[in-house]
Amino acid sequence: MINATQIRGARAMIGMSIEELAAASGLPVETVAALEKGEFAGEPHALFDVRSTLEAHGIIFLSSGNQDEGGPGIRLRARTSSDDGIRPENLNAANDD
């Protein structure tokens, strides 16, 4: 099971807007927003759809205890292309979205 923080973090990590995630997962924006707030009740398939969509975009969900320390988390799947993403020195508020 993934949590709301993982969903928000995963979406931010790949630079996907809430509207883009909703469209890619076939869900209303309101449903995705509710999932990101931790409101999972009443939408059992929605969590699966969001998780599948994010995984298809390169996200790996880590459960509590998967790594050395800490709780649940996320990471990017190893890249297979030459796209290196945004270099740390180029990170700024303009490319947060």
Domain chopping of the chain, boundaries? 4-76
pLDDT at 65 over 70: no
Q: What is d(CA 58, CA 78) in angstroms, rounded to the nearest whole number?
A: 8
Q: For residue 72, with 0-12 CB atoms within 10 Å meaning exposed, 13-18 middle and 19 or more buried, which class applies?
A: middle
pLDDT on residue 81: 61
Count of beta carbons in the 10 Å neighbourhood of residue 94 = 7
Confidence band of 63 (pLDDT split at 50, 70, 90): confident
pLDDT on residue 43: 72
Q: What is the pTM of this model?
A: 0.74
pLDDT on residue 64: 73
What fold characterizes domain 4-76? Answer: 434 Repressor (Amino-terminal Domain) (1.10.260)
* pLDDT tens profile 18-49: 999 999 999 999 999 999 999 877 777 999 99
Q: What is d(CA 16, CA 10) in angstroms, rounded to the nearest whole number?
A: 9
Please give the helix or strand (H or E) that residue 36 lies within, else none: helix 29-36
